[in-house]
């Protein structure tokens, strides 16, 4: 099993999950009051937008990580499979979250359920990175040693951030959704991986891949 | 993140969104009057056909644009992600548009909702092009300078065309759908990008890619 | 737009349509009589199997045709887009066909609807081939002249075969489904294209592609 | 039709089937009792997780087998198409299995239905391997002769294992689901194919593909 196969399969799952997401938005039930009904569905739309960005940014970070890998082993493939499971599962809690917020019923439960899914997802990311980077097991030689530890801290911290999201879910479901949006933006800015790229910038072949 | 990765992921989202679209056509509810019910669903079918062509032609133009790019940067990837969001979202307003026209209820709202989605999509296209072409930031060297401005005008004009579509939606929902079909055909004929290809035709490698 | 891009996008639509098909099988409504209900759904399953094979064999023949093409032009891309539309649309008439046969209501209408979709699909295939092969416009030089005409006859005949399917639909809906299955098997055996491959077999590069 | 095309199409079907699976989980019907309702859906989740792992591991083993193939013929492509049909069909029995276990009604029927689907899938795997390996028809020269027979035994034994699963379905539906999970884990450990890789390890090009 070579690395690019795993990436192509993962890309497929990312692309399908992000596109399937639209099926989670509840359809209008009464076309006589369509404008009203679409207006009431704004939490469905907000949950859609947040999860779309979450999956899109994860796709981006998935590639960043795989660019740092020189090889893959069977355990990494299975860890990646669990990671993909938490992502492919996201449309389910997203739909429930949006509908619960729109109905104003079950919102706390839905926010907890969504946050627990994201927490499990964060655990998979951390597991993937720790497995790949322990003793530089699967890393490319150019990957800077300092970033190895920084990224381990970032991924471990990610599980903590999503644990906090579970806590926020108990306080306020809307705040919880906003917190997930904020975390997505944080990962989009992606400070640590940028650092690694800068340090690896001198290496022609990797830097070239970034630019082309 | 290299250019071909972004294209492959985008292609995946285009292909999935265009194929998922079929799920938006309302299923018959009464099989005793099946012929009758299928006949009443012609607006669903019309909305399906128009949106299918819209997405198919966007896919084509997406490649045209990416052929003009020599490199991609992080901002372009995010602009592309927002573009994909508006496309992946299309099955939702398409289904509502078809059903509202078939029911004869909520048609104005549905036409406005569909047109607003397409307007946001046009804004993403314009943003993508303006970001990529400003100061020739990401363009290939062979791209003719004259076409850079023409395409900027075309994309900015696109947002205007879809703003007009919103206006038409308030007048007549069927005319609005027809207008969207006409715009799709206009972009299919694609006069400006053809001009660019003709001018770049002298360059062996890009012209070759067009032909092979 | 190069040929392999069109093939990859088409492959995506084929793969998604063939996999989405499972969503057309009606879910059981009463779990107390589950065995009974699943038994009553055999026409849903039969329609699923026939359409799955139809799409799978079309995918295969799509590649056969594209292997004969040395280049693609804009018109071919649009003809291909219409072809993909008829394929992406198939889950809708398939679901209706299976359900109508299972209910024993609306079966004639459903069979006609399914057959008309397949007829339009056959027209797209014929249009695609006639456009590509007229004056050998887009064919590879090695493609044998004799097969050009044989395949034009086969594709034109295909539209006739599906016109007959529409006729059979008016007589007996089950016989119509069986006829579609038989046509799929006929195209799977694919005598004409095999002839072309045999004749082109002397050419190292194309024959090599067949084997590897 | 070259080998990599078949693999890419198969990968697409695997990726779509594994991601569509999420649509099989029954949505909550009462948001006032959301926590309760999600709790009652644990068998839906269990069926989801088991089938996700089943498809993921099949994807992995599909690649292992295709790595051993030096070429593909038309019959293999059709056998592969039948294999993909059983996989693309899996969301249907999975959804029914989960719901039947959650409702406590029709569980035996659902377990038998799921197990029969998996049994047909195992038959396709066995047919694929027996066709490809008979007389080393399609195998790469480096593939060790001893593993050819071992893998034939493994695949034939696989049909036996899934026949046993059908038997267990009649005894206890939950035990049947657990048995399917155990079989997935068994195939994940994949002792025979590992042996083949070890023996082929001396060959630079195949071993390299494993690592890179």
- Window 96-135 of A: residues touching D by CB (8 A cutoff) are 96, 99-100, 103, 105-106, 109-110, 113
Which site among B79, B89, B170, B173 would you substitute to test the A interface, given the most A Cβ atoms closer than 10 Å to its Cβ? B89
Positions in chain B whose pLDDT score sits under 70: 1, 190-212
pLDDT at D206: 38
Q: What is the mean pLDDT of residues A82-100?
A: 97
Q: What is the mean pLDDT of residues D90-102?
A: 96
How many residues are present in chain A? 212
Residue boundaries of the structural domains of chain B: 3-211
Cα B131 from chain centroid (whole Å): 18
If one compares C46 and D190, the residue with the highest pLDDT of the two is C46
Separation of alpha carbons A46 and D148, rounded Å = 54
Residue B156 CB-density burial (10 A; 0-12 exposed, 13-18 middle, 19+ buried): middle
Q: Count residue pairs from A and D with Cβ separation < 8 A.
A: 83
Averaged confidence pLDDT in chain A: 89
Those residues whose C-beta lies under 8 Å from the C-beta of residue B48, and which sit 6 or more positions away, are B21, B22, B24, B25, B94, B98, C89
Q: What chain D residue is nearest to A84 in terms of C-alpha separation? A: D19
Q: Is the dihedral of CA B143, B144, B149, B155 positive or negative?
A: negative
**Residue C109: how many other CB atoms lie within 10 Å:** 24
Q: pLDDT category, C195, cuts 50, 70, 90?
A: low
What six digits make up the tokens of D126?
């066995």
Whether B115 and B151 have beta carbons less than 8 Å apart is answered as no
Among left, alpha and beta (phi > 0; psi -120 to 50; other), residue A104 is: left
Q: Does B85 touch chain C (CB under 8 A)?
A: no
pLDDT digits (tens, 9 = 90+) for B137-195: 889 988 888 888 888 888 999 999 999 999 999 999 999 999 999 999 988 886 556 65
* Location of structure tokens 């359900």: C99
Distance in Å, alpha carbon of D20 to nearest chain A alpha carbon: 8
- Window 15-44 of B: residues touching A by CB (8 A cutoff) are 16-17, 20, 23
Q: What is the mean pLDDT of residues D1-17?
A: 91
Model confidence at C210: pLDDT above 50: no
Distance in Å, alpha carbon of A191 to nearest chain B alpha carbon: 13
Cα A13 from chain centroid (whole Å): 12
CB contact under 8 A, C52 and D85: yes
Separation of alpha carbons D154 and D151, rounded Å = 5
Q: Which one, of B147, A9, A50, lies nearest residue D16 by Cα?
A: A9
Cα B122 from chain centroid (whole Å): 8
Range of weakest confidence among A188-202, C11-25, C106-120: A188-202
Chains in contact with A, where contact requires at least 3 CB pairs less than 8 Å apart = B, D
**Residue B145: how many other CB atoms lie within 10 Å:** 9
**Residue C29: how many other CB atoms lie within 10 Å:** 7
Half-sphere exposure at residue A9, Cβ-oriented, CA atoms within 13 angstroms: 29
Half-sphere exposure at residue B88, Cβ-oriented, CA atoms within 13 angstroms: 32
What six digits make up the tokens of C110?
């459903």
Of D2, D20, D99, the CB nearest to C19: D20
Of A3, A8, A20, the CB nearest to D11: A8
Q: Which one, of D77, D82, D85, D73, lies nearest residue D6 by Cα?
A: D77
Q: What chain D residue is nearest to A100 in terms of C-alpha separation? A: D31
Separation of alpha carbons B71 and B44, rounded Å = 40
CB contact under 8 A, A22 and B23: no
Q: Does A139 touch chain D (CB under 8 A)?
A: no
pLDDT at C137: 86
Of C14, C22, C34, the CB nearest to D110: C34
Separation of alpha carbons A195 and D111, rounded Å = 52
pLDDT digits (tens, 9 = 90+) for C114-146: 999 999 999 999 999 999 999 888 899 888 888
Half-sphere exposure at residue C86, Cβ-oriented, CA atoms within 13 angstroms: 21
Q: Which one, of D111, D109, D149, D112, lies nearest residue D129 by Cα?
A: D149
Which site among C34, C66, C181 would you substitute to test the D interface, given the most D Cβ atoms closer than 10 Å to its Cβ? C34
Whether B172 and B150 have beta carbons less than 8 Å apart is answered as no
List CB contacts (< 8 A) between A81 and chain D.
Answer: 53, 56-57
Distance in Å, alpha carbon of A67 to nearest chain B alpha carbon: 8
Cα D193 from chain centroid (whole Å): 15
Q: Count residue pairs from B and C with Cβ separation < 8 A.
A: 84
Q: Does B59 touch chain A (CB under 8 A)?
A: no
Q: pLDDT category, A178, cuts 50, 70, 90?
A: very high
Model confidence at A210: pLDDT above 60: no
pLDDT at C165: 97
Half-sphere exposure at residue A61, Cβ-oriented, CA atoms within 13 angstroms: 25
* Location of structure tokens 């307003």: B93
Q: How far apart are the first and last CA of chain B?
A: 26
Of D8, D38, D212, the CB nearest to A3: D212
Cα C104 from chain centroid (whole Å): 26
pLDDT at A62: 93
Question: Tell me, what's the ipTM?
Answer: 0.89
Q: What chain D residue is nearest to C190 in terms of C-alpha separation? A: D74
**Residue B92: how many other CB atoms lie within 10 Å:** 24
Model confidence at D59: pLDDT above 80: yes
Whether C170 and C108 have beta carbons less than 8 Å apart is answered as yes
What are the residues facing B139 on neighbouring strands?
B69
Of C12, C92, C106, the CB nearest to B25: C92
Q: Above pLDDT 90, what percent of chain C?
A: 69
List CB contacts (< 8 A) between A105 and chain D.
Answer: 31-32, 34
Which site among A10, A14, A31 would you substitute to test the B interface, given the most B Cβ atoms closer than 10 Å to its Cβ? A31
Chains in contact with B, where contact requires at least 3 CB pairs less than 8 Å apart = A, C
Q: What chain B residue is nearest to A22 in terms of C-alpha separation? A: B89
List CB contacts (< 8 A) between A31 and chain B.
Answer: 99-100, 103, 105-106
Q: pLDDT category, A198, cuts 50, 70, 90?
A: low
Q: Does B5 touch chain A (CB under 8 A)?
A: yes
Those residues whose C-beta lies under 8 Å from the C-beta of residue C142, and which sit 6 or more positions away, are C200, C203, C206
Q: pLDDT category, D168, cuts 50, 70, 90?
A: very high
How many residues are present in chain B? 212
């Amino acid at each position: 099993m070579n690395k690019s196969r795993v990436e192509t399969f993962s890309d497929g799952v990312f692309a399908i999950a992000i596109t399937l997401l639209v099926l989670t938005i509840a359809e209008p039930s009464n076309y006589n009051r369509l404008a009203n009904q679409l207006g009431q569905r704004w939490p469905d739309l907000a949950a859609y937008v947040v999860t779309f960005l979450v999956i899109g940014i994860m796709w981006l970070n998935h590639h960043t990580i795989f660019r740092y890998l020189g090889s893959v082993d069977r355990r990494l493939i299975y860890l990646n499979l669990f990671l993909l499971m938490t992502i492919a599962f996201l449309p389910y809690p997203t739909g429930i979250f949006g509908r619960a917020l729109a109905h104003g019923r079950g919102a706390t439960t839905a926010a907890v359920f969504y946050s627990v899914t994201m927490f499990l997802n964060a655990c998979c990311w951390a597991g993937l990175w720790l497995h790949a980077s322990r003793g530089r097991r699967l890393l490319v030689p150019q990957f800077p040693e300092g970033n190895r530890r920084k990224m381990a801290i970032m991924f471990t911290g990610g599980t903590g951030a999503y644990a906090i999201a579970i806590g926020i879910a108990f306080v306020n479901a809307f705040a919880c959704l906003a917190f997930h949006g904020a975390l997505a933006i944080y990962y989009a800015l992606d400070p640590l991986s940028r650092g690694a790229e800068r340090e690896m910038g001198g290496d022609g072949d990797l830097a070239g891949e970034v630019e082309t």
